[in-house]
Structure 1
Amino acid sequence: MHLFNDKVRNIIMCRRNSAVFSLLSIFAVVFMPLSSGVSAEESVASQPKETLVFGVVPQQAASTLAKAWGPLLKEVSQNAKLELRFATAPDIPTFEDRLATGEYDVAYMNPHHYAQFHQSQGYQALVKEKDKKLKGIIVVAKDASFQDLEALAGETIAFPAPGAFAASMIPRANLKQRGIDFTPKYVGSHDSVYMAVSKGLFKVGGGVGRTFNNLPLETQSKLKILWTTPKYTPHAIAVHPRVSEAARKELTAELVALSQSEQGLSLLNSLGFNRFEIAADSDWNDVRALKLDQLSIQTDEDAPKQEEN
């Protein structure tokens, strides 16, 4: 009888152990995927984002640009699977050299730069400002006798710099297209142009409406706008062809989405931007028609490098 009871007890214990083992096996099968899944997510989250160098045309000092662009690039980086790293150059020629070697993955560049480096490097526009056009102005002294552009034939005209797109390149290209001969003189900045014309050092100068309107009344009252250029497609944000299609689509979507939030609109406004819209390469055909590559560019001491627009 004792032997029988011992056998029964052993059988029960074996079955109990077997049942426990089966339950443990089931728990292992059920919960292993969950544990594995969490680890995978944590692994993906811990992976570093792809870093893209974002070059900004040097319209101002590097420190000023970094402070202005930093918050916007940070906002886009936080919302995207990308990390945008700010970069610029000490002057326009250096910026152009870096575009020419494809140093920037992404770049905010003036319209002439886009047309030029789309062709030579394959940069492709992603976005541009919506409802924004660039135009230049020709200013003369308030009491000047000039009535039209043709009267400027043979004059020396002050410009900020050879590469200043709206204030220099657009007016010069339009004058050239009209067959009006003139001598360009580069004085370093918009304010220097206005000051020189107001003081009679030059009879004519090139600028843009924004900087003219921001002049002190004392200077502005001595000048008048003789002519305003046609309007042209504004700056582009473009990517180098090595940037993947997935990164391009994500970056485009995040830039356009900036205008859909209060924070994004505030960041755009702080840079003086309208909202962004998706751009096509053909948007810059108006700039190509100016044939800016045929303009003569001075490189001597009369051609300062400071300003871009």
Structure 2
Amino acid sequence: MRVKQKYYCGTIVIVGKPNAGKSTIINSLVKTKVSIVSKRPHTTQCDIIGIQNDGLFQAIYIDTPGISYKHFNVNNVIEKCYINKLCNNATLILFVLDGITWTSEDNLILNLVKHNTIPVIAVINKNDKILQKNNLLPYIESLRKKKLFEEIVPISGKTGENIHLLSKLVQALLPISKIRFPTTQKTSYNLYFKVQEIIREKFIFYLGEEVSYSIRIIVESICFKEKKMYVIKALIVVKNNQHKQIIVGKKGTKIKFCGTLARQELEKYFKHKVYLSLFVKKDNKKYQVYNVHQKKFLQK
């Protein structure tokens, strides 16, 4: 009689204040880019799911938007649901800390996660930037005194330092369970979402903070033509004409620059040539179209 193989699978929610490096960590764990990486806070606008497969283990990581006093209101109904999600659906929580400085925002997050029985791993990120290494052990000891963390591990999501160790610590806490995704799959999101995030990342990196967080990217179509080329049309939806002008830039220089960067990354992703058209739209009114290849504007 054939013995049924046991698998270990669970959901790991990654929490932390803005810019702690959560997206970089999930990309390092999954070994592919599933989440936008930017120096600007609040880059992640929705929960990103990355899937790490390693033999009998499947870890499903949820990269969440950064939590801070400025952008988080515990009394808000949606945010209460967010906390319930952490408590009810997660197998494990990764609490990402930005270096060795404990802040009031870290304290806020601590208060959110400490009232449940889910294991929490403290992940001290950006270990490569800690100049005074002799301060690391006292900081780890101070975290132990909080009596919350199952494990405490210093890592660098950027360089990959101790990422393998973190992965093994996660695997040790996964329960016996059926795997939920095919072992070749690395994210739960579809192709349209992936393209949307690639385009959005380029504009977030090069635009001002106010504009970059207010834009929305809507991928209208992805077509594969006979000439082995992907033709992609996407909308950039903005709040007002001022934001529209900033995105377009003088004589279309900014949208051309960001659009070209997006096209280049999309070509690497698809391993084919990409024909990218970006549309800048304000609400439901007329919008400008900038064709990255023809380098001219059209009116719609």
Q: What's the TM-score, normalizing by structure 1?
A: 0.21
Higher-Rg member (1/2): 1
Query: Which one has a larger percent strand, Structure 1 or Structure 2?
Result: 2
Q: What's the TM-score, normalizing by structure 2?
A: 0.22
